[in-house]
Amino acid sequence: MLSKDQIAQRIAREVKGGQYINLGIGIPTLVANYIPENLEVVLQSENGLLGIGPFPTEAEIDPDLINAGKQTITMVKGSALFSSAESFAMIRGGHVQLTILGAMEVSENGDIANWKIPGKMVKGMGGAMDLVASADNIIVAMQHCSKDGKSKLLKECSLPITGIRCVKKIVSDLAVLDVLPEGGFKLLERAPGISVEEIIAKTEGKLIIEGEIPEMKFD
Amino acid sequence: MLSKDQIAQRIAREVKGGQYINLGIGIPTLVANYIPENLEVVLQSENGLLGIGPFPTEAEIDPDLINAGKQTITMVKGSALFSSAESFAMIRGGHVQLTILGAMEVSENGDIANWKIPGKMVKGMGGAMDLVASADNIIVAMQHCSKDGKSKLLKECSLPITGIRCVKKIVSDLAVLDVLPEGGFKLLERAPGISVEEIIAKTEGKLIIEGEIPEMKFD
Amino acid sequence: MINKTVANAAEAVKDVFSDAVLMFGGFGLSGLPENSIAALLEKDLNGLTCISNNAGVDDFGIGLMLKKRMVKKMISSYVGENAEFERQLLSGELEVELIPQGTLAERVRAGGAGIPAFFTPAGVGTEVAEGKEIREFDGKLYLMERWLRADFSFVKAWKGDTSGNLIFKGTARNFNPMMAAAGKITIAEVEELVPAGELDPNQIHTPGIYVQRIFQGVNYEKRIEQRTIRKS
Amino acid sequence: MINKTVANAAEAVKDVFSDAVLMFGGFGLSGLPENSIAALLEKDLNGLTCISNNAGVDDFGIGLMLKKRMVKKMISSYVGENAEFERQLLSGELEVELIPQGTLAERVRAGGAGIPAFFTPAGVGTEVAEGKEIREFDGKLYLMERWLRADFSFVKAWKGDTSGNLIFKGTARNFNPMMAAAGKITIAEVEELVPAGELDPNQIHTPGIYVQRIFQGVNYEKRIEQRTIRKS
């Protein structure tokens, strides 16, 4: 099973040079740590920044410079600041090419649920609905199963959904899977030590397996 | 009969302190010369400036600073520059409170025609349709009659119109008139030496005359 | 130039009335109109509708207005940091409308820009779309959203001049520029108020036309929600 | 940061193709992408659709592209300064779509912002409204307008950095920022190109995300249409 950092590390391999990327809160934020330094990419923060840098040192902390998770941050060289309307204009207009975010459930046609659990206090969708409705490429970082062992890769989402037919790829603690345009999870890679049989057993939605499924390798 | 400068001078009396104003090309541009200096007003140029100043001296000329008539201009203290989208957001959103512009025809319900003459080369409406559809107060500077003596204050516009039910007041070379919400031109003032009878004769649309009509005075 | 200066926050908020619709700039606690909120807390107000991306925390920002039961309804995109908020919501004292963040930003922008409605893909197929018009353009589904406007907008800038021009700093800009444009009366507080003419016209983020009152703010706390540092 | 720099205008426009939809920033001759237009004139192109507030004058700007019969259709708000334009229009060689200036600005803005349609009051009751959906909101009539997008957008800025961030000057900003966002490929020419990191992130008018190519322009003429002076 992959650790959270390994999920982030594996997702980082999907990043291409030249991309503008929005990283959600949680595991997606960790992806930044694994993007190779020679890849020129720009991280967008939907509260109004292109060019998120590392967290600040104590001396660098600026209350007027935070990310969408309200954490203090820094800017890299060549950054630009803007309003929330401009930020979501960028997102909605498809200029942010890659969105990486967490999910509670994903369905075999690419629907995603990640904002609301009935009966629990609703905190709000924040920018998630805009992000999943907009980017060309949406990659989800998630646990394959809930704590009580139920699959989160489903035929249909049981929770209120955040967006329809939008997820392109999933990296879970067990596997890497493409969500096919025609529907279905296509198994691409297994986590080290995880068998195809276990992935079959833990995937409720339609799973497509063709040929040998390689095991992921980490340095 | 009022000269163009007198029309501008009379319109300037309608300006109130604290207003943001858009002045069209032609006579409306002259209005700026007659706004009392103690009135704090701001002139908007729809190509992206709040705070139009006087024309530049030879030494001050800047090709990157023009008004909507493409004339070189200067800025007053406290000016702000912005994009065309922001400029028309201001206009459409009703933040520019007063628009003064020329017209070829106005109808008794406040329709205005000022952009197109059938059979002649069409140059385009520029920002006029946005301006007349937006500002709370629209004052028209115009000649009361065409060169061949036909009234331009009509029951209905004969030319293609620029906007409907928008003109609030007209200052022509002969008179000052309100356009009433229920329809009709209400005569407020006569140009020096012009009789009410002449105005009646030269106004095709419904003219409303109540009591004595004072003559305009100029210093 | 028109002088928009008022003496202080108390004077700026003097005519805010109960049941009014208010907008507050800020993302989390960053770029929050702290002085105006403090002045509103001194007034006897209730039934307010507050439009703000977040609802503050229990002891700062709009959270303090919630505590005083001034707020009838919150319109926000994320409200997760506030226990009092949760209590009032669950008890039915507080009404909440949750809106996707980009839709919120654009609805406010539309309000200022005189655009009564527009189409966005955010929320298609979700409960956000319920009751809204859905339409297909170029093969993709969109839903129609309406503008948002306010009786009073409260914004906070880094620098401002007496004619109401504003410059924001860092990510404290966020919702402030759109909210400035969407308020019938917009009240701006600034860390540094300068005479008209001292700010570069080319660097203004919010032109003064959108601002009806401006004042020099005092004692900014600028609280940080998630102080995150790296080892240097 | 991503480096968007290309050597010059010729390289920047190398893949522009006939029948493409092009946007050009500028108002009159102010803020015009002079270098890109010059480079386009060197190419064998025709059937172009050009979206630009104006159509240049006979011997400058888009007027030169008209003269070379590169343009099939102009989408503009005002085209009054160009005799060749008039000739081609009357002879039926050139198609023209005239759009209210604010609607043009907003349609382009919508194209960049992913908003396929919006409502505006401009043009209600006029021939501009013909064939368009009219709808009443809060007692006022509006018409629905669609977004505009381009295969290539050409913009001109005062300063830019290698990551594509742009700062405009004076009223030369005009349509440039929206057009930068509405092009599939946006080509920016700048009077001064600096390394990423030299521009203040807080003063950027167009964030680099919208710009695919940037180059240092040369020999700017910056022609003035109406040289108007006062006696000093």
For C137, which of D116, D135, D137 is closest by C-beta distance?
Answer: D116
So what's the pLDDT on residue D232? 63
d(CA D218, CA D220): 6
Instruction: Tell me the one-letter amino acid at C224.
Output: I
How are beta strands A98-102 and A20-23 bridged, if at all? parallel
When pLDDT is cut at 50, 70 and 90, the band that residue C80 belongs to is: confident
User: What tokens appear for B104 in the block?
Assistant: 């070829």
- What chains are in contact with A, requiring at least 3 Cβ pairs below 8 Å? C, D
Nearest-Cα residue of chain B relative to residue D31: B64
Biggest CA pair distance of chain A: 54
Summarize pLDDT for A48-71 with one digit per residue, the tens: 999 999 999 999 999 999 999 999
* pLDDT higher than 80, residue A218: yes
* pLDDT higher than 90, residue C83: no
d(CA B118, CA B159): 7
So what's the pLDDT on residue D56? 87
Summarize pLDDT for B154-206 with one digit per residue, the tens: 999 999 999 999 999 999 999 999 999 999 999 999 999 999 999 999 999 99
Q: Give the ranges where chain D is alpha helix by DSSP (H).
A: 9-12, 34-41, 62-67, 83-90, 101-113, 176-182
Selected for mutation to probe chain D from A50, A96, A130 (highest D CB count within 10 Å) is A50
Task: Give long-range contacts, CB 8 A cutoff, 24+ apart: D66-75.
Answer: D66/D94, D68/D41, D69/D93, D70/D40, D70/D41, D70/D45, D70/D46, D72/D19, D72/D46, D72/D47, D72/D48, D73/D48, D73/D49, D73/D97, D74/D49, D74/D50, D75/D49, D75/D50, D75/D51, D75/D99, D75/D104, D75/D148
DSSP letter (8 states) at residue D114: T
Nearest-Cα residue of chain B relative to residue C4: B18
Q: Which of residues 182-221 of C touch D (CB under 8 A)?
A: 202-203
User: What tokens appear for C109 in the block?
Assistant: 């922008």
Domains of chain B (ranges, CATH numbers): 4-208 (3.40.1080.10)
Over residues B108-121, mean pLDDT: 92
For chain C, what is the mean pLDDT? 96
Interface predicted TM-score of the whole assembly (ipTM), two decimals: 0.97
Task: Give the CA distances from residue A48 to residues A84, C70, C156, C232, D186, in Å, rounded to whole numbers and listed in that order.
Answer: 6, 30, 16, 25, 21
Angle of CA points C17, C208, C78, to nearest 5°: 55
Over residues C43-58, mean pLDDT: 95
Query: Nearest to residue D108, comparing CAs of B79, C25, B150, B88?
Result: B88
Over residues D45-74, mean pLDDT: 94
Provide, as residue numbers in chain B, all residues whose Cβ is less than 8 Å from the Cβ of D124: 133, 163-164
Over residues A1-24, mean pLDDT: 96
Burial of D61 (0-12, 13-18, 19+ CB in 10 A): buried
Residues 6+ apart with CB under 8 A from D59: none
Provide, as residue numbers in chain C, all residues whose Cβ is less than 8 Å from the Cβ of B53: none
Quick check: B87 and D127 CB within 8 A? no
Active-site residue flag, A46: yes
Summarize pLDDT for C188-223 with one digit per residue, the tens: 999 999 999 999 999 999 999 999 999 999 999 999
d(CA C177, CA C157): 9
So what's the pLDDT on residue C232? 63
Determine A/D contact with 3+ CB pairs under 8 A as the test.
yes
Quick check: D116 and C138 CB within 8 A? yes
Please say whether the beta carbons of D13 and D36 come within 8 A: yes
Task: Give the CA distances from residue D151 to residues B14, D2, D175, D212, in Å, rounded to whole numbers and listed in that order.
Answer: 47, 21, 16, 12
* pLDDT higher than 90, residue D82: no
Q: How far is B105 from chain D (nearest CA, A)?
A: 14
Q: B137 - beta bridge partners?
A: B98
For chain B, what is the mean pLDDT? 96
Find the range with the poorest average confidence among A36-40, C23-27, C83-87, C181-185.
C83-87
Over residues D147-157, mean pLDDT: 98
So what's the pLDDT on residue A119? 84
Query: Nearest to residue D155, comparing CAs of D140, D143, D165, D142?
Result: D165
Provide, as residue numbers in chain B, all residues whose Cβ is less than 8 Å from the Cβ of C201: 49, 51, 75, 79-81
Summarize pLDDT for B64-74 with one digit per residue, the tens: 999 999 999 99
Residues 6+ apart with CB under 8 A from A203: A144, A151, A153, A185
Q: B171 in helix, strand or coil? A: strand
For chain D, what is the mean pLDDT? 96
Nearest-Cα residue of chain C relative to residue A52: C171
The helix-helix angle for D101-113 and A84-92 (nearest 10°) equals 70
User: What is the three-state SS of D16-73?
Assistant: CCCCCEEEECCECCECCCHHHHHHHHCCCCCCEEEECCCCCECCECHHHHHHCCCEEE
Share of chain A above pLDDT 90, in %: 94
Task: Summarize chain B as % helix, strand, coil (round to 5).
Answer: 20, 30, 55
Q: Higher model confidence: residue D121 or residue A123?
A: D121
Please say whether the beta carbons of B204 and B154 come within 8 A: yes
Please say whether the beta carbons of A115 and A160 come within 8 A: yes
Find the range with the poorest average confidence among A155-159, B143-147, C227-231.
C227-231
Over residues A118-143, mean pLDDT: 93
When pLDDT is cut at 50, 70 and 90, the band that residue B208 belongs to is: very high
Q: A93 in helix, strand or coil? A: coil
- State the sign of the Cα–Cα–Cα–Cα dihedral D190, D191, D195, D201: negative
